């Protein structure tokens, strides 16, 4: 995962998930996804889409974009809706991997400073504090 993230950052000269998604040809959309859904990644006819809940604050939008980008890079060919309905796969595993990818992408190249807390590092990098469990 870390090697993949370094490769993306080197190619696009940034760890900004919006820039990376655009560079990869992923279409970004914003919509009201309702209660409990922050974002969705899907593919239709070889076109890839990330849809982000339009009412999220900026730090969450950035995290969700990075999370859905994680699905694109780590889980190509998987359809979350099909996995939920037609299989016995543990979808939570894929969600945890995508969240870990997002945290590592957004904090890439940065480390805890002397006497700094993990919360401060995450806040400095625009990562919602609730996602600190995916840092390690």
DSSP for residue 86: H
Q: What is the pLDDT, as a whole number, of residue 72?
A: 93
Q: What is the pLDDT, as a whole number, of residue 83?
A: 41
Q: What is the pLDDT, as a whole number, of residue 78?
A: 61
CA distances from 123 to 1, 28, 45, 104, 132 (A): 22, 24, 38, 14, 10
Q: What is the pLDDT, as a whole number, of residue 37?
A: 86
Enter the pTM of the model: 0.87
Residue 129 CB neighbours (<10 A): 11
pLDDT average per 10 residues of sequence, the chain (136 residues): 95 97 97 89 90 94 95 76 44 83 94 89 92 89
> Where in the chain are the domains?
2-134
How many Å apart are CA 119 and CA 130, to the nearest integer? 9
Q: What is the pLDDT, as a whole number, of residue 86?
A: 41
The kind and range of the H/E element at 31 are strand 27-31
Q: What is the pLDDT, as a whole number, of residue 109?
A: 86
Domain 2-134 class? mainly alpha
């Amino acid at each position: 995962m870390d090697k993949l993230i370094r490769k993306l950052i080197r190619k696009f000269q940034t760890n900004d998930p919006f820039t990376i998604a655009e560079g990869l040809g992923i279409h970004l959309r914003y919509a009201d996804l309702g209660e409990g859904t922050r974002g969705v990644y899907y593919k239709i006819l070889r076109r890839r889409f990330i849809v982000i809940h339009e009412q999220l604050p900026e730090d969450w939008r950035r995290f969700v974009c990075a999370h859905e980008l994680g699905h694109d890079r780590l889980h190509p060919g998987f359809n979350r809706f099909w996995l939920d309905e037609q299989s016995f796969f543990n979808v939570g595993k894929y969600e945890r991997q995508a969240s870990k990818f997002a945290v590592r992408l957004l904090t890439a190249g940065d480390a805890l400073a002397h006497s700094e807390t993990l919360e401060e590092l995450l806040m400095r990098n625009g990562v919602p504090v609730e996602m600190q469990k995916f840092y390690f």
